[in-house]
Structure formats: C-alpha cells, structure tokens
Structure 1
Amino acid sequence: MDHLVCLDSEAKELERLTKGIKSMIVHGAAERKPPHGQVGEGDTLYFVLDSEDGLVRAKARVKNATSSPMLNQEASIIRLIQNQRKLMLTEQQVRRWGGRRYMVFVEVEQIEHLEPFCIDRSVLSGKDGWAVVGDIAKVRKHPPSN
C-alpha cells in the first residue's frame, strides 16, 4: 500500500529522516481516521513538503506502525515523550500533536531520495497531510506530451 505524506518543512523533517536523525513519523487526529489502522509494515510512504506544490522528493518503507486506542491529552503527550528519541519533534510539533485523541506512530527505514515528480496535490486536500493512495501511480502527474 502506498501513502502520500506531507512533511513539516520548517522542522526539516525530510532532511532529518534522510540523515538518520529521526526514524519515526507521528500523525494524530481528534477522531479515528486514516492513516489510523491503515498503515502497516512493508507499506511505502512518499514524501512531499508542506511548503511545496505537490513534488515528491523521497520515499521510505514502513518498518513498524502502531495505532493508538483513544487517548486523553496526558496519555497522548506521554506517548510522544516515550517515542521522542525516534520522532525528534520540535517544541512546535509537540504542541501540534500533543492532545490528539488518536495517534499513529510510524517507524521508517530504507529512506531514499527520488528524482522529484509531481502528484495531484488535491488528494491531500482535507486529509491533514496524509493520504492512503493505494498505488502512487494513480496520483502521479505526467508531463503533457508534445
């Protein structure tokens, strides 16, 4: 299963993943919705930056994914702290994700840069920066033929 994931450019998430500084991504929401329960070992994550217009720059393989049960604010913050060595979140990111009732912790491996390609950014619209796409080819934009 392929997933399209928007990374925080201000926190330099892509750079920190490719350099091995961080090895885990977190996603959370107030209600149970994708990727909660829909991402698993062996899936492929394709990364776009939140500051760009739908340009995929890298991909990674999911090593492990854990979807939490419903959490209260304190429990969600504790989960972030427990995983901080792998997440390497900034203070701003901790504030963003802390307090989310449903969380997904995704450990990645085999991170590799790709020849950048465009995707239909509308698939991320209203998805909080994560879309389960099935096959990346379905959302890949091809240059117009002459």
Structure 2
Amino acid sequence: MNRRSPRVAQTGPSLPLDFEAFLTQWHQPFLRLALQSLTSTAAAEQAVLHAAALIYCHWDRLLAETSPALAALDILDDVLAGRPRNRTVSPLQAALDDLESRSPIQARCVRLRHLANLSYENVASTLNIELGAAKAHTWAGLRHLSTQLELHQTGTTL
C-alpha cells in the first residue's frame, strides 16, 4: 500500500524568521501600493513577489539600514517603475505623480497612510521621521491632491 505523507515536502531552503515576519507584515501594504499603478491584480502580485525576492537577496544589507522598511519600499518602487502602468491615467494617479515630482516625502506619506493603510506611527517609523512630521507631510500632500483634483474637475491647469 502506497500512502502519501500528509506533510508537504519543502522545496527550498527555509527563510530567516525575521524575513518571514517582515514579509508577512508588509505583503498587504506592498500589494495595495502596487495595485495603485499597475494594470491588474496579477501584475501587482507578480511585482510584489519580484520585490520580495530582491529584498531577500539584500536582506542583510537592509537590516543594517536605519529603516529596513524604507529600503524595502525603495526596492518595490524600483520594481514598479519597470512595470507597465495603467494605460489610462486616472486623475488621482496624475495628481499623485505630480505630488511625487514636487514633494517626494509628501507623496510617500500619503501613499503609505492612505494607499498602504499604515498608521501615522508606522508611516513615521518607516520613513524615519517624527510623528508630527508624518502627519504634517500627509496633510500637506492631501491638500495638494485635493487642489489638483479640483483643478482637474474644472479643467483648469496650474
């Protein structure tokens, strides 16, 4: 009688526990950020997996950083920059792109707080800034986005 073991065979080396914990914590925020600009859920999932592989390759270096999460976000941003984006740019995406070019810190605070759904405390610790600065940059970024979206609705440009 040939019975299969109920255990699943492990196909590769086990990952360091700190990396597994990091990936568990950041998978959903990374996926939400990727979904914002990529063409499909499958493309976003693929981008996050690619970023995770790169993060793993540089894990020891990232752990030496002041904010490993910020370094990992930079890797995700690089991966996303190399992927095809939505063909039709929404007014929100256009406003976020404009904010990114004018104030990258405000754009990153807005993306982390409202797209990745992180708390202000997590935004501050991820970006290695004070809590008050995270709130102020997010507020200023949202104000810029609001202005841009209002201008878009009226057909006005700056």
Task: Classify the TM-score, shorter chain.
Answer: under 0.3
Give the structure, 1 or 2, with the largest relative contact order (CA under 8 Å, sep 6 or more).
Answer: 1
Answer with 1 or 2: which has the greater Rg: 2
Considering fraction of residues, name the structure with more strand: 1
TM-score (norm 1): 0.28
Considering fraction of residues, name the structure with more helix: 2
